A and B are shown apart, each in its own frame.
Chain A
Amino acid sequence: AQSVTQPDIHITVSEGASLELRCNYSYGATPYLFWYVQSPGQGLQLLLKYFSGDTLVQGIKGFEAEFKRSQSSFNLRKPSVHWSDAAEYFCAAHLVNFGNEKLTFGTGTRLTIIP
């Protein structure tokens, strides 16, 4: 079945530490891939996206993600987190099923930052 999986429901990281959020997809081809962030009471904001080409993608707020075809993964990273990064993070993939195309989201990873 076509799906997006985020294995980690909740991650806690110390401020200034590095971060990696995992995302895997199940699809017959390489989809377009996205990472969104959702802060309380806010809409989802796009951090970065991968369509093709360079497998290391740079985004806003110092985030980057690496696409690995062999692992069907698109993990999000940040070298040094800030308290303001605390939020819910969603990985999404553009999937096509019987001619209908849509964004399919993972269940999200909640990020907590401790001082």
Chain B
Amino acid sequence: GAGVSQSPRYKVAKRGQDVALRCDPISGHVSLFWYQQALGQGPEFLTYFQNEAQLDKSGLPSDRFFAERPEGSVSTLKIQRTQQEDSAVYLCASSRGQGARETQYFGPGTRLLVL
């Protein structure tokens, strides 16, 4: 079956531009997570959705980062006024049940480069 997909796979943005990253989770998965992975680092948690509800956004680094999942399936991570330190791979993961203890299935990521 289809796994988690993300688009675009690569994004180059000029500093100050807004970007939108899309995640298509596995069909029927309740939970959706966004992570940021800087070069040479492990993924860092950004935010968590249970269906359409954003239950935890404690990992979002600033108010320039915004995520939504309006219909409880596809999610979009938006970064406003991008900065160079936003350059990273953004990973999306989904899981069947609720919470972070369930096995998470990861997408291939979107590599964002801010010039």
Contact = CB atoms under 8 A, between A and B. Distances in A.
A101 B101 contact: yes
B42 A107 contact: yes
A42 B42 contact: no
Question: For chain A, what secondary structure do more than half of its interface residues adopt (helix, strand, loop), or is it mixed?
Answer: strand
A44 B91 contact: yes
Given A44-B43, A44-B91, A108-B41, A103 B106 contact: no
Interface in A30-44: 32, 36, 41-44
A18 interface: no
Given A32-B101, A43-B3, A102 B45 contact: yes
Given A102-B48, A102-B56, A49 B103 contact: yes
Contact of A105 (B42, B48, B56): B42
Interface size on B, as a range, is 20 to 34
Interface in A77-109: 90, 92, 94, 100-108
Interface of B: 3-4, 33, 40-45, 48, 56, 58-59, 91, 93, 99-101, 103-109
**Closest 3 interchain pairs by CB?**
A105-B42, A43-B106, A44-B106
Given A43-B108, A102-B56, A103-B104, 6 more contacts: A44-B91, A46-B105, A90-B43, A102-B33, A103-B33, A103-B100
16 contacts: A42-B108, A43-B3, A43-B105, A43-B108, A44-B43, A44-B91, A44-B93, A51-B101, A90-B42, A101-B99, A102-B48, A103-B33, A103-B45, A103-B100, A103-B104, A108-B40
